[in-house]
Amino acid sequence: MTTNNYKRFSGKLAIVTGTSSGIGLACARRLAEEGAMIAGIDIKEGDWQQVKALSPDSRFYKLDVSDGSAVKKTFEQVIVDYGRADILLTAAGISKAGPLHMLEEADWNDTIDVNLKGTYLCIKAVLPTMMKQHSGSIVTIASIEGLNGTECGSAYNASKGGVVILTKNLAMDYGRMGIRTNSICPGFIETPLLEQAIGQLPAFKDDIIRETKVGRLGKPEEIAAAASFLASDDASYVNGHSLVVDGGYSAGHSHGIVELMGLS
């Protein structure tokens, strides 16, 4: 839940992809708590009713974000239903890992199609409305794995690295039209996607926590707080930025010296 009691998104529509669980659901809840109507998008409803309870005027739209014709049709319906689009947050994502020589072409394609192509399609679909309004805030969910390499993460990292640079280009192209575009690069967050990736690898999980300088995994609500800021007028001069929210994971490597100095 938010710690503020004002509705800075009152009367605004936020289109959020990946709302069935994890970061997408947390972002949709946070924006709804702050007064936004939510157009939730995912291939399944999941825990959508959490959002509906917070914002009764919100609606769910079943959609595969990698299907171009379906994205166009769905976003057209959203604009018909609400008549506006103030915020787009793209959180739909998948991860199929493995060293490149063992990675099936279908797994590479699926990862790029959902994470990168899906982001492109949703942004393309909402831009005409935002251009007509001469206003809008787009927040893409990238990853620290789009800024740094990760073992056996070639497809996921490539897709998220693409999201980072796409976001910067959008800021350049549309900033003068009143449309801001920023990305969030989460670290390792407690989500079903992370559990799917490392749930059977406890040693790997322990190592991630050791390398995360606050000593724990992140929570989806912590990414939602960052998304709320970037989507809001409080970030009116923030454009083309990649905000790292990773508990210090990417700040540098740990080698046990902090423990030796009695700082843990």
In angstroms, the Cα distances linking 258 to 164, 214, 262 are: 32, 12, 6
Single out the catalytic residue among 61, 120, 156, 174.
156
CA distance 82 to 75: 11
The yes-or-no answer on residue 156 being catalytic is yes
What ranges make up the beta strands (E) of the chain? Answer: 13-17, 37-42, 59-62, 87-90, 136-141, 179-186, 242-245
- Tell me, what amino acid is at 120? Y
Buried-state track 11-25, b at ≥16 Cβ within 10 A, e below 16: ebbbbbbbbbbbbbb
For residues 121 and 143, the answer to whether their CB atoms sit within 8 Å is no
CA distance 44 to 48: 9
Catalytic residues: 156
